[in-house]
Amino acid sequence: MNQRQGLLGYYNYTVILTYVGMLVGFIGIVYAFEQSIFKAVICLMVSGVCDMFDGTIASTRVRTSSEKCFGIQIDSFSDLICFGVLPAMIVYNLGGQTTLILGVCALYLLCALIRLAYFNVDEQERQQTSRSSREIYYGLPVTLSALFLPLVYGAVKLFSWRPDALPTAALMAMAILFLLPFPLRKPKMIGKTCVILCGACEIGLVVLAFDGV
């Protein structure tokens, strides 16, 4: 990449939603530190919405190879914050900050990191031989934590279940699924619409279950 004048990076509209999602994810981490788990979960869901549509927005612009490469990298870095660190912090603080939960959260974050790094390499190699968009993912995308974890949180709060068992088990299961190479078709608009409807129902569940923490 050649030297250039001005700020490093790219600031056109194709990456703005990614930047917004990352900032919301960071705010969610702060909320988790402050034991405001409800707010942290809402931030996780908002970040998930941002991630769902950033690729669609990026596809509306003809980008250079450098811009595409930057987009791949920045999207995964943002995902590590929003769907790696943030879910781990939510479960750690929700479950009581025990050593066992800390270990599970650390393993979850490591698996998310490995998956995202592998995806970056795989996607760059794929784009060298194909101009079409990706149709199949392998393993569970880390972004689906924004769909699964709020559901777990809502169920735990609504039914007064132990706050350590189910969230920790869910995090462990997702960590394993991140690295298992099963095929998963990329959702089209209908699939995204279904995910949004599920997310809307989850928001209702989380709000209903909200008890001030």
**Please, which pLDDT band fits residue 15 given cuts at 50, 70 and 90?**
confident
In a domain, 8, yes or no: no
79 vs 184 pLDDT, higher one: 79
Instruction: Return the ∠ at Cα 187 (arms to 38 and 65), rounded to 5°.
Output: 100
Matching residue, tokens 């409807």: 197
In tens, the pLDDT along 139-182 reads 999 999 999 999 999 999 888 888 889 999 999 999 999 999 98
Q: Is 5 helix (H, G, I), strand (E, B) or coil?
A: coil
C-alpha R_g of the chain? 18
Q: Which domain holds residue 190?
A: 13-209
10 vs 173 pLDDT, higher one: 173
Question: Residue 28 has which token pair?
Answer: 């969610």
Nearest to 47 by CA among 22, 13, 84: 22
In a domain, 7, yes or no: no
Q: Average pLDDT of the chain?
A: 86
| Structural domain total, the chain | 1
Q: What is the pLDDT of residue 66?
A: 79
In a domain, 6, yes or no: no
In tens, the pLDDT along 117-144 reads 998 888 878 777 777 777 788 899 999 9
Query: Mean pLDDT over residues 191-198, rounded?
Result: 77
In a domain, 204, yes or no: yes
Nearest to 95 by CA among 179, 32, 26, 8: 32
CA 20, 208, 146, 32 dihedral sign is: positive
In a domain, 5, yes or no: no
Partnered with residue 137 across adjacent β-strands are: 184
**Please, which pLDDT band fits residue 5 given cuts at 50, 70 and 90?**
low
Query: The domain spanning residue 43 has which CATH number?
Result: 1.20.120
In a domain, 107, yes or no: yes
Q: How far apart are the first and last CA of the chain?
A: 47
In tens, the pLDDT along 64-112 reads 777 778 888 899 999 999 999 999 999 999 988 899 999 999 999 999 9
In a domain, 146, yes or no: yes
In a domain, 160, yes or no: yes
